[in-house]
Amino acid sequence: MFLRFLKILLFLVSTSFSSILLAQIPLNFPAEFNSIQILPQKFEYTLLDSSSIKLGDIIIDSKTLNLNLELNPNNFNEGRFLFSWPAGLLKEGELLIFNNNGKSIFSRDISKEKIKIVSGEKNSNSLIRNEISLFTTEYLDEELIEEIKYLPFFKFCVVKKERITKIELCSSELYVSTENDKLRIKERKTNPQNEAKVIINGKEAGDQGIVFLNAENENLNFKAQSESGALLEIVTRLQHIHFNDVIITSNRNFIKLKASGSFPVNETGVKRLGPDSWEITLPIEFPVFYVQGEGGIPMRQEFNIKGPLPHEKLRSYAVGSPKTKTYSSEATIEGRLPKGATIKSKEDTSEVSLKNKQNFLWTLKKLNPSSWNHRNLTVLSGESEATIGYDIFRGYRNDFLIKSELLTPINLINLSMEFSSWLNDLSSGLSLKYLTAISKPPNITKYSNIDFSYIFRPSKGINFIDPSFFLGFSYKILQLNDSSFSLPGVLLGDKRKPTSYWYSMIADWYQWKLEYFIGQKVNSIDLKSIMLFEFTNFYSLTSNQYLNYSLGFLKYQIDSESESDSESALAKNQLMINLGWNRQF
């Protein structure tokens, strides 16, 4: 019975192991190399009338930009605000009320969970969005209600700000009126009326227009004003999208596009494949949809079909677990062709060789660092021909760091140089650091460190590309005056990108690291331990250079029989202030 159970178990394990080895991953038909012309994203607008404007697939009507005041039936000195605004652009951000001097007297953070979305007027165009956002505050204190009653006018704004984008939608001038012993918020009429107009990048534009965006660093500054004085201001830019796969459906009426990057604004007909990847089905006669630019601004994306499109039967597969990231200049994957198909390369950056009738080896050559590298092969089956593609990211393997370090209160100034190199398993790294004092207090004659470290990332990835927790082992050689110490140690830390708007303005990456070294007794100095904690910010200068600045804490645990001034001074808690520069290569 036991032997039978063991055989079954071995069979299941071997079957599972074989299935892992033979796992097949579909290779893409990249859109731009398979008869699809990807047209530039464009921002389009139409000033419909004196109060409304159409941006892409969104209608924004200033008449739906309203604020009402509702008094507490149990306490007429308290009231709450009821806001409404067009939802297409703003479903999160901040609500603000400004008095007649432009000073903010009320603010609330808003999110999708805090607001209610209702449908606007029906529209025959299925692409159009005209929903309304509703938000009701809690009952507010008497002081604010009394203040707003007697203001000559005020306005409210819905604002969303990010690092490089801004959306601001502001109402016309409002005031509080009393009708039948009830408070009403009304629009303040101005004379003469404002002119409904559009301003793009500082210049007045026509009532209808299109702005093509070709570069990811190209900003669009858009302002629109209604006749009532309501104002919309947008600062945005396009977001990169990679259309990495296209096929025609079996009935030849639709195309299916897979992409990574910014999502479509309307998720009808969209299938999410991952955190930043998706699939959309479009009619072949009208392959058009709206995609989110920076800040969620709708950008029109169109395609031009120039020839026959690939079908699923022509699909090839990568066998096993091919790498999508590497530190090397070359990478090789194994592929499998559909039956009866042949394959060839038309570029010197791809080299292909057949293992048998269906399996092939594909060598991706001349990979450029700090970028995604795209490589193509041509698959032929009968009269059908298609291009298959593969994308792989190559990171910088090496990192050189030089920095100055101040230890206080001992007033020791050090210069350190560190060289790090990452292995191609995308988990392991080695570093060598040398530190020496360039300005010492009188009681220290010599101070230097040599550190050798092994670093391990539990989650595989590329340095300065993928955030990760890390840990490792270190070995330190410390020279203090006439004594030399050999100290083993451990380290752990975390390296990530800032998530807040304000933090991302001063740092592109941040890292904290904790190191602990086991001590050693040399001569009359008993060095019990060394503990170091450092928090570092990295500000990007170029694609492979960073300015870094940090604060840290350094603690030497020393028992000295001689009680010399140098050891006792160093044993105090030391604050570290660092400024450095590092370059990847």
Chain mean pLDDT for the chain = 88
pLDDT digits (tens, 9 = 90+) for 302-321: 999 999 999 999 999 999 88
pLDDT digits (tens, 9 = 90+) for 543-553: 999 999 999 99
Strand, helix or coil for residue 424: coil
Rounded CA gap, 165 and 504, in Å? 13
Q: What is the pTM of this model?
A: 0.73
**Peptide linkage before 73 cis (omega within 30 of 0):** no
Residue 566: per-residue pLDDT: 63
Residue 254: per-residue pLDDT: 94
Secondary structure string (H, E, C) spanning 364-417: ECCCCECEEEEEEEEEEECCEEEEEEEEEEECCCEEEEEEEEEEECCCEEEEEE
Within 10 angstroms of residue 551's Cβ, the number of other Cβ atoms is 13
Query: Nearest Cα to 243, choosing from 560, 29, 458?
Result: 29
pLDDT digits (tens, 9 = 90+) for 415-464: 999 999 999 999 999 999 999 999 998 888 899 999 999 999 999 999 99
Confidence of residue 13 (pLDDT cuts 50, 70, 90): very low
**Angle made by CA atoms 262, 263, 265, in degrees to the nearest 5:** 125
Residue 565: per-residue pLDDT: 63
CB 421 within 8 Å of CB 398: yes
Percent of the chain clearing pLDDT 90 (strictly above) = 53
Residue 15: per-residue pLDDT: 38
**Angle made by CA atoms 24, 26, 27, in degrees to the nearest 5:** 125
Confidence of residue 19 (pLDDT cuts 50, 70, 90): very low
Rounded CA gap, 288 and 42, in Å? 12
Q: Is the pLDDT of residue 3 over 70?
A: no
**Maximum Cα–Cα distance for the chain, whole Å?**
97
Residue 207: per-residue pLDDT: 87
Confidence of residue 23 (pLDDT cuts 50, 70, 90): confident
Percent of the chain clearing pLDDT 70 (strictly above) = 93
Q: Is the pLDDT of residue 125 over 70?
A: no
pLDDT digits (tens, 9 = 90+) for 146-201: 888 889 999 999 998 887 788 999 999 999 888 777 788 888 887 666 788 999 98
pLDDT digits (tens, 9 = 90+) for 393-427: 999 999 999 999 999 999 899 999 999 999 999 99
Q: Is the pLDDT of residue 17 over 70?
A: no
